[in-house]
Amino acid sequence: MNILRALPLLFVLLVLFAVFIFLLSSCSSSEQEYPEGNIDVDSEIYIVPVGDVDEDLLYPLIDKLEKRFTTTVHVALDKGIPVPEDAYDYDAQQYVAMYVLYELLTKVEVPENDKILGVTNVDLFVPESDRGFIFGQAHVGKNAKGAIISTIRMNPKSYKGGREDKELLISRMTKEAIHELGHVFGLKNCYEKECVMYLPKNRKEIDKKTDSFCLPCQKLSRPSPKDKVVKPPEL
């Protein structure tokens, strides 16, 4: 009699165990399908200096960009352009990011399907934003062509009492380059603070996040029929 009473409980436990094994295998499958925080793109990327940018800061970006986007990345010094003077806002004493980005995307020619990453050392801002500055900006949409990042707010030496730290600067540049190019390839800001698509408000938040795409962002970049795409909340 006691055995008969225990059968329903035993059945429930077996079902729960089966569900657990299924979820575990699904998780492992997703991790294998989206390894190491990378996304696949079908465009090559050209890194272009905008203004007087130390080329020693550009070449270190190649390896990580090639890894994260699984594509070929070029440093195109010959395509470099000056910072457009008409992008300067005398009241803010900064450069309007969208004007600098527009100059970059209209003056620099690359193969039709490829993308441009501009790197500048001038201070960028968006006039209608409540933020005093931005680390970068991307051209977004179906025909998105490129993005730009600024080194000045990421450079430890730019702040009072700051010391030169090229390794830290390159780390920050790499994360923000991947972030802005992520927008170019269709991704939005992510709520996960460790995801590279998280929108940092300051340098400390750049330092805390990784240079990897989180799993939901990876899935958004190339949805699989096996996976239900879960969209990260926008900031």
pLDDT in tens, 85-140: 999 999 999 999 999 999 999 999 999 999 999 999 999 999 988 889 999 999 99
Could you give the domains of the chain? 40-221 (3.40.390.10)
Q: What is the pTM of this model?
A: 0.80
* Residue 131, C-beta contacts closer than 8 angstroms, at least 6 positions apart: 125, 201
Hey, which bits of the chain come out as E strands? 45-50, 73-75, 88-89, 94-96, 115-120, 124-125, 136-138, 146-150
Q: Please, what is the average pLDDT of the chain?
A: 86
Catalytic option among 85, 180, 192, 234 = 180
Axis crossing angle, helix 61-69 with helix 166-184, rounded to the nearest 10? 30
Would you call 31 a catalytic residue per the annotation?
Answer: no
Tell me the pLDDT tens digit for each residue of 132-190.
999 999 999 989 999 999 999 999 988 777 788 999 999 999 999 999 999 999 999 99
Q: Is the pLDDT of residue 23 over 70?
A: no
Tell me the pLDDT tens digit for each residue of 41-52.
999 999 999 999
